[in-house]
Structure 1
Amino acid sequence: MRTVLRTSIVTAALAGAMLAPAAGAAFAAPAPQAVTSTTKAAAPQVKKVAINKHLIANMSNSPTSGPSVQIHITNEDGTVRPKALATLDRKHTKQAAQGTVFTLTEAETAEPVLTVFEGGVTTSFPLPKGTAANPAPSPAPAPARYAGQAVYIGNGMVAVLRNKSEGPEAWIRYVGAQWKPGDSYMSRVLAVLDRRQTTDSAYGASFKLTKAETAAPVLVVTINGASKSYALPRGKAGQNCSAESKIQDIGAGTTAELYMSPEGPKVALRTAGEATAWRILDRGFPALNKSDGIVARIVNPSGAKPVFEWRTQGGATPLGRTTFPALPQGCKLNYKVTEQESGSKPGSTTPAGTKPQTQAQTPVQTQTAVVPEGAVAAGAELPVETVADTDNGTTLAAGAGLFAIAAALGRAALRRRRVNG
């Protein structure tokens, strides 16, 4: 038995010794095979910068796709909204949103820069260094979509008049007082007038697209009480779905211009003496942040009857409310109407079911003004049936002392808003 066991062990050891070199060779030198690389290019570095208290920029510069900038809104609690407010790259170097103009300069070079124009001030933010475009393209002419008949209308502005498949359009752009026919007009957009937005104002001028539903519309520009007309190219007649806008004085030297279009309600907040609106409210950005110092918001922005409410004074001053203009008959909203729940939402100062008093204000007047696109925060929601339009309402403050205190609070709120704007 022992002899048999010893013989088995020796046999196994010899077999292992004979197989070991072959096995080692198999692992050490595998047969040559075609290998396909699965290595992926490293993700471009993202540089995050705070533009202001409400906006951040995610900037990258990939060697393959070039520079990219995404602007996002920051909520009061510090969280960032996932949907980008503006996106820039080499094919799209300029975009205006929420009263601010974002431009990707030096986009074809290895060191592009993001510039932000807001409140008359330009701030620059360099992107990470990348690779210059190869070859560097020559300056491109105005894209066909935005090209048109450019006419100087005064105060450093031109109107680019179009009337193609999109219908009549008047693009109001700022070019400076030295502009002359033949010069480039692809610069900062102040307003766009069409059959959905027929009025606006900027830089001391008001604009109105008249006869918009006909084949021969006309742009009327009024400066210092004097009006001048500019005929657009002839096109095809079509339905005019622009509601007549209205202006509301909300106190603290601020007015709110309200209008309604198939895209929904919009509000342009303007300070007396300023050339353009300092903030735009719409379905995407229906309420100011608390740090702006005043209350201004669209209640039920995606509902059938949205309402604008505001408060610019402190203390127990009641909220002011007014309705939006109605769309012309036959015009429909181009989104699904969603009635939000009744009751207070985050940031609301009015308990659910409570009907606030009407704030003292000046009567609402009609004004030819429409607002550009804007950007979102939550506001209070109340049943539309309980909302009182404040066009003719008045609430009186008792005593000169209370009036002085309210005025001081309004000035303080305006100062905070200008600092944060």
Structure 2
Amino acid sequence: MRTALRTSIVTAALAGAMLVPAAGSAFAAPAPQAVTSTKAAASQAERVVINKHLVADMVNSATEAPSVKIFIVNEDGTTRPKTLASLDRGHTKQSVQGTVFTLTKAETAEPVLTVFENGATTSFPLPKGKAATPAPSENDRYAGQAVSIGNGMVAVLRNKAEGPEAWIRYVGPHWQPGDSYMLKVLTVLNRQQTTDSAFGASFKLTKAETTAPVLVVTTDGVAKSYPLPQGKAGRTCAADSKIQDIGAGTTAELYMSSNGPKVVLRSSGSDTFWRILDRGFPALNKSDGIIARIVNPSGSKPVFEWQTQGGGTPLGRTSFPSLPTGCELNYKVTEEQTGSAKPAPKPSSATTGVTTQTQAQTPVQAQTAVVPKGAVAAGAELPVETVADTDDSTTLAAGAGLFAIVAALGASVLRRRRNHG
């Protein structure tokens, strides 16, 4: 009772304070304070327009290493905040929906962004900066024995801790031994992918599981061999490619490795690919005009589907090559729902009621979190839950009674003033 009495006295004091005209200012919310950020300003990037749908922010200076961020431009000209692709010296190449972004000459003071799309390459020089330290050497991750393989291409042969690798790069028809070869990457062969093709030539990494692999390049029916440096033996987990004619002058090359399925789409008579499908980009866009997609790209048995003609032509389907015995996928296998799968059941009324109740309580919880400390801070009202938790009926009754007394006294004073008037 003693506690309740003290609380009642406080309530009475509050009720009296409400009669003072100046009391309103006590309930005013404090003026917002200006916040000064101590975070250093981001480096100024040079923006270049790749095409009407893509822009690139490029950074390179004496104090910062080269970096490029690619963004999508909306139809209204605004730029989407999410980065489409990001390149730097540690990650110089990225393929997105068939468009290949490459940061060439990344170790030099004057790197160049190249964009390969629809068989054409466009270059965008970065601002001049500082060359990497130390300078490129034979111990670099992408350095190796460069040999000319024709059609303006070189094969950079490596066999180090990563295992045997043959990096196929385009350097142009005038390349000579000793010239720089850190240019456009067309493909890379290793123990996870042993076959590919580009610019009218097919490539195969043979004896990949041995200590002495050999790259075989076939052009116009003529095969040439290029031995790789000696290395360690290891298991090869890549299947031979499978060629599928899908109509409309298009062929599909199907690959399967521990990294998952991959489809390279090529147009007849073209030395370069048109589109690449994989786990990250498993289907063509509707704007491409045909259907080509990988069904269950992260599943145990992915399937390639296509349709290049209308008029009720059924979908074509074919399986991917099988991995060698003993090889496993290096990602978690997840099977996708097919179109015939049953839809998820609708939530029951009981569940719906719980959800509605939770949503209704959310504003109250948010309000509780921002109530300032103190009994009269900022004029905040306690939420229903807080009032219920006090469980002090004496205080409530006393407060209500005091408010009634104050009201009665006010009415009495008003009558006396009228009588005297």
Task: Give the one of 282, 294, 298 matched to 2:294.
Answer: 298
- Greater CA drift, 231-240 or 173-182: 173-182
Whichever residue aligns with residue 211 of structure 1, its letter is K
- State the partner residue of 2:191: 195
1:332-343 matches, within 5 Å, as 332-343=328-339
SS of 1:335's partner is coil
Task: Give the one of 56, 59, 68 matched to 2:57.
Answer: 59
Residues in 2 aligned to 1:344 and 1:73: alpha-carbon distance in whole angstroms: 34
Give how far 1:108 is off.
10
Whichever residue aligns with residue 56 of structure 1, its letter is L
Whichever residue aligns with residue 121 of structure 1, its letter is A
Larger CA Rg, structure 1 vs 2: 2
Is 1:94–1:101's contact at 8 Å kept on the other side of the alignment? Answer: no
Q: Which runs of 5+ in 2 are unaligned?
A: 1-35, 344-421
For the pair 1:216 / 2:212, whether they are aligned, the reply is yes
For the pair 1:227 / 2:208, whether they are aligned, the reply is no
- Greater CA drift, 93-102 or 257-266: 93-102
Is 1:169–1:194's contact at 8 Å kept on the other side of the alignment? Answer: yes
Change (3 A) 1:109 1:203: closer
Residues in 1 aligned to 2:105 and 2:178: alpha-carbon distance in whole angstroms: 24
Residues in 2 aligned to 1:136 and 1:144: alpha-carbon distance in whole angstroms: 12
Identity %: 70
Residues in 2 aligned to 1:47 and 1:154: alpha-carbon distance in whole angstroms: 37
Residues in 2 aligned to 1:74 and 1:217: alpha-carbon distance in whole angstroms: 45
Q: Which runs of 5+ in 1 are unaligned?
A: 1-36, 346-350, 353-421
Task: Give the one of 156, 167, 170 matched to 1:171.
Answer: 167
- State the partner residue of 1:40: 39
Is 2:296–2:302's contact at 8 Å kept on the other side of the alignment? Answer: yes
Is 1:48–1:56's contact at 8 Å kept on the other side of the alignment? Answer: no
The CA RMSD measured in Å over matched residues stands at 3.8
Residues in 1 aligned to 2:191 and 2:268: alpha-carbon distance in whole angstroms: 28
1:65-214 matches, within 5 Å, as 65=64, 68-71=67-70, 84-89=83-88, 91=89, 94-98=92-96, 99-103=98-102, 114-123=113-122, 133=129, 140-141=136-137, 144-214=140-210
Change (3 A) 1:196 1:152: same
Change (3 A) 1:106 1:224: closer
Whichever residue aligns with residue 172 of structure 1, its letter is I
Aligned residues: 306
Change (3 A) 1:67 1:252: same
Task: Give the one of 315, 319, 334 matched to 2:315.
Answer: 319
- State the partner residue of 1:282: 278
- State the partner residue of 2:246: 250
- Greater CA drift, 97-106 or 177-186: 97-106
TM-score in terms of structure 1 length: 0.63
Give how far 1:47 is off.
7.5
Residues in 1 aligned to 2:287 and 2:306: alpha-carbon distance in whole angstroms: 15
For the pair 1:307 / 2:306, whether they are aligned, the reply is no
Is 2:298–2:333's contact at 8 Å kept on the other side of the alignment? Answer: yes
For the pair 1:265 / 2:267, whether they are aligned, the reply is no
Is 1:85–1:97's contact at 8 Å kept on the other side of the alignment? Answer: no
Considering fraction of residues, name the structure with more helix: 2
